[in-house]
Structure 1
Amino acid sequence: MRILIVTDAWHPQVNGVVRTLTETARELVAFGHEVEMLTPQDFATLPCPTYPDIRLSLFPGRRVAERIESFAPHAIHIATEGPLGMAARGYCMKKKLPFTTAYHTRFPEYVHARVKLPVKVSYAWLRRFHNAGRAVMAPTRSICDELTARGFRNVALWSRGVDTGLFTPGERDRLDTAPPRFVYIGRVAVEKNIEAFLKLDLPGSKWVVGDGPLLPRLKKDYPDVHFAGVFPQAELARFYRAADVFVFPSLTDTFGLVLLEAMACGTPVAAFPVAGPLDVVGDSGAGVLDRDLRAACMKALEIDREHVRRVAERHSWTAAARQFEANLHPRTLPEAALVAQG
């Protein structure tokens, strides 16, 4: 089957959406499918306001149509609601082609955090965008239920995995600061609620690994915190291993791949009891979820790291990709051939 995945989030961005799509495409190819990615790398772009690392494609409609027609996919998946996603959605609706979408991030909450647009306005727009598809894939059961309650139709589960061969327990020599070492890894942006972690009175040392628009201010406001930059995954694994506790202060993530990556390295998690941590960590004993984040951090120090690793091993990208595959709505081979004829 030829599968076209349309995404406004792609390399060199470092985030959960890019990681998920990269791993899913790799698994789909291993299953024997032909996968083509339609990404901003093929278009003229400009930086997204308030988030310059994200590139927005300029006037992509014609080229998106050309790419779809030349590839003649059996299945089309629109991963994001940006310019490429909107152009692909418009083409599919015009040609009456089935497509699926995905809900990766709490876009309404993120927009509200930046410009105070009421979340109900953003959700109304998202409902219209996603309900035109045959299925909208969400990463956890709780997010599926939430979207259904908000009026989204045909919500389907598409979970996430972790590379347990890359993210493994091992030497814990990456950080040379006082223990216990509390570490956050991810985007440094307002929606991640990082200051809820940085403000805590904790023993030992705190680390923030990653980059983002909030980084310059946080460096200035928290001089005692250790800030590292962006690293490839192999180096990130060393940070995860060296941490005594992985702190995840976000209140808005739909999943949190970094939770699984930390757990695969044997590092227990401290987080708030919200969607994402509740689904990934829950009552597994691999972390502590508490509305008092400091209490969660301190309790997590007592968790057996071997148990944390065993919990992470329950998740795989192969299983997640099979869910994605089952959620697609492919057309028959003769129907697909008609796309190439416009």
Structure 2
Amino acid sequence: MAGASPRGFRPRDDRGRQRCRSLPIQPAARCGGRHARRAPRPRRGPVFVSLGGIEPRKNSARALEAFRLFRAEHPGARWIIAGGASVLDHGAYRAAFDAARAASGLPEDAVTILGPLPDPEVAALYRAADALLFPSIAEGFGLAVIEAMACGTPVIASRIAPFTEYLGPADAAWCEPADPHSIAAAMAASLAPGRRRALIVAGFAVAARHAWAAVAEAHLPAYARLSATVGSAAPAPAATRSTEFALA
């Protein structure tokens, strides 16, 4: 089962209580509250966030090239990468990513790599971002998609399974993950005012369908069928010792 907690991942309400203090973006208009005054500089352009760190299945190298293409048209854009705890060794891929980043001509502060964060700060990061950039080439489910949508953040997703299995054509800004130009175009599409509003509304509907209560309820018919099958196939109970004596 996969779902988003309604307590942790929610839209941009309770702004004064959002935990923005340790994040690299704290725009007053988006995070608000006393923590917003700690922002190191005013926000200058769209902010994209990616979850899952830097590794091949997250398509980080092509996402970097897509961000470079996008930033050429939107000079103030920023990309924040969070997460990345893994039992696998992605050191060589990370080294290649860092080399490509250094050669890209992007300013040092255009790409921020945070590493793993606690859930409350992940939720605050979703709320502060303009879109979730999630052009993976492989995912088991992609829970970050549901979490971002629950926070009212549009999603840029690869046109592959599993995303195509639970998202409709209008639920995300779709991209072809092998094509950085397609990813960059989806980034731009996610910011278009009319499209953005539609993505937010659609995202709330998707998140509601995948809230834990809804997901658990959707499993009940399957459990009922399993219970009926097991019950009908169960062997008759063995005779008890007292019954054996009575029949003797």
Task: Name the structure 2 match of 1:297.
Answer: 187
Question: Partner letter of residue 252 of structure 1?
Answer: A
For 1:60-79, what aligned pairs fall within 5 Å after superposition?
A: none
Task: Name the structure 2 match of 1:209.
Answer: 82
Tell me, yes or no, if structure 1 residue 179 matches structure 2 residue 45.
Answer: yes
Q: Return the alpha-carbon distance in structure 1 between the equivalents of residues 56 and 161 of structure 2.
A: 18
Q: CA deviation at 1:311?
A: 3.8
Bigger fraction of residues in helix:
2
Question: Partner letter of residue 207 of structure 2?
Answer: A
Tell me the secondary structure at the aligned position of residue 113 of structure 2.
strand
Query: Larger relative contact order (C-alpha < 8 A, sep ≥ 6)?
Result: 2
Bigger fraction of residues in strand:
1
Q: Return the alpha-carbon distance in structure 1 between the equivalents of residues 44 and 125 of structure 2.
A: 14
Q: Return the alpha-carbon distance in structure 1 between the equivalents of residues 101 and 207 of structure 2.
A: 32
Tell me, yes or no, if structure 1 residue 222 matches structure 2 residue 112.
Answer: no
Residue of 196, 201, 221 corresponding to 2:62? 196
Deviation string 1:73-118 (CA, Å, 9 cap, x unpaired) is xxxxxxxxxxxxxxxxxxxxxxxxxxxxxxxxxxxxxxxxxxxxxx
Tell me, yes or no, if structure 1 residue 309 matches structure 2 residue 224.
Answer: no
Q: Return the alpha-carbon distance in structure 1 between the equivalents of residues 218 and 171 of structure 2.
A: 24
Change (3 A) 1:282 1:251: farther
Q: Return the alpha-carbon distance in structure 1 between the equivalents of residues 99 and 204 of structure 2.
A: 35
For 1:315-330, what aligned pairs fall within 5 Å after superposition?
A: 315-328=210-223, 329=226
Change (3 A) 1:322 1:169: closer
For 1:65-104, what aligned pairs fall within 5 Å after superposition?
A: none
Q: CA deviation at 1:312?
A: 2.0
Unmatched segments (≥5 aa) in structure 1: 1-19, 21-159
Q: Return the alpha-carbon distance in structure 2 between the equivalents of residues 175 and 282 of structure 1.
A: 32
Greater mean deviation of Cα atoms: 230-239 or 308-317: 308-317
Q: CA deviation at 1:324?
A: 4.1
Normalized against structure 1, the TM-score is what? 0.46
Question: Partner letter of residue 250 of structure 1?
Answer: S
Change (3 A) 1:324 1:257: same
Deviation string 1:110-167 (CA, Å, 9 cap, x unpaired) is xxxxxxxxxxxxxxxxxxxxxxxxxxxxxxxxxxxxxxxxxxxxxxxxxx32223311
Q: CA deviation at 1:299?
A: 0.3
Normalized against structure 2, the TM-score is what? 0.61
Q: Return the alpha-carbon distance in structure 2 between the equivalents of residues 169 and 175 of structure 1.
A: 20
Task: Name the structure 2 match of 1:261.
Answer: 147
Is the contact between residue 154 and residue 200 of structure 2 (CA under 8 Å) also seen in structure 1? no
Deviation string 1:46-77 (CA, Å, 9 cap, x unpaired) is xxxxxxxxxxxxxxxxxxxxxxxxxxxxxxxx
Q: CA deviation at 1:220?
A: 4.9
For 1:101-140, what aligned pairs fall within 5 Å after superposition?
A: none
Task: Name the structure 1 match of 2:5.
Answer: 163
Q: CA deviation at 1:306?
A: 4.6
Q: Return the alpha-carbon distance in structure 1 between the equivalents of residues 174 and 200 of structure 2.
A: 19
Unmatched segments (≥5 aa) in structure 2: 26-42, 72-76, 103-107, 177-181, 239-248
Q: What RMSD over aligned residues (CA atoms) do the two structures have, in Å?
A: 2.8
Is the contact between residue 53 and residue 115 of structure 2 (CA under 8 Å) also seen in structure 1? no
Question: Partner letter of residue 4 of structure 2?
Answer: V
In the alignment of these two chains, the number of paired residues is 177
